[in-house]
Amino acid sequence: MIRILPAIDIIDGQCVRLSKGDYDTKKVYHKDPLVAAESFLDLGVEQIHVVDLDGAKKHAPVNLKVVEQIKSKTGLKIEFGGGVKTDAALKDVFNAGVDQVIIGSLAIKDPERVQHWLSENDPDAFIIGADVDDGFISINGWQERSEIKLFDFISEFKSHQARYFLCTDISKDGMLMGSSEGLYQQVMQAHPDVKLIASGGVSSTEEILRLDAMGCDAAIIGKAIYEGKIDMKELKNIINT
């Protein structure tokens, strides 16, 4: 069964959500992200998706103390993204208790460094993130569209032992209008061996089941939980299936 990954995005130490990655749309849901993490324990999830939005802006992790607290208090597995650009930052993130680190823009800007990390560590400790705009990957907090096509990008990093890929359709993120199921279907047809994590717009249990049927490994859910747009009893049933 598909894994459910509740999302905790952090700005100024608070749990927030954005729409289409726009920092000006910030909405605070919990002043203490630990409260959100503890609520997810009740759902039966084993892993959460944490993004350090301050770190993404500053190109270095900022909120690792929050991550450490969540890890020590809940024991949840954590996949983390936001500002991991250097060997030192990577070490700090793993020392904070992160189980999987998400590498996005750096995989476009400095692929050799990321490929080195994959070769020197357990490749399954890395999730290669692809934020997609009309088939091309965007970087720098979605502010810049690269000339790299999604399917070429996946093929390249698969050749370096990456298995986990997180794909976000920017146009869908935070809009509560459904995810890019057509795009995910294409990815799974082209690369059935990858562990694809669907992100952006997931807003119903029916959609989650469709993502499961097409072979997605996991689905990230954020605003649909915080806004009460998804049936939590049904979600809990899926998690505990």
Rounded to an integer, what distance in angstroms lies between the CA atom of residue 172 and that of residue 180?
7
Walk me through the domains of the chain, giving residue ranges and CATH numbers: 3-239 (3.20.20.70)
Give the mean model confidence (pLDDT) for residues 105-134. 95
Nearest-CA neighbor of 187 among 160, 225, 149? Answer: 149
Percentage of residues in the chain having pLDDT higher than 70:
94
49-58 pLDDT, tens digit per residue, is: 999 999 999 9
Q: Hey, what amino acid is at 200?
A: G
- The neighbour count for residue 56, using CB atoms within 10 Å, is 24
- Give the model's confidence band at 5: pLDDT under 50 very low, under 70 low, under 90 confident, else very high: very high
Residue 172, pLDDT > 90, answer no
The pLDDT of residue 221 is above 70? yes
- Dihedral sign, CA of 173, 150, 238, 35? negative
**Dist. CA 53–CA 142, nearest whole Å:** 12
Average model confidence (pLDDT) across the chain: 92
> Is pLDDT above 80 for 220?
yes
pLDDT in tens, 185-199: 999 999 999 999 999
- The pLDDT score that the predictor gives to residue 159 is 98
For the annotated catalytic residues, the residue numbers are: 9, 131
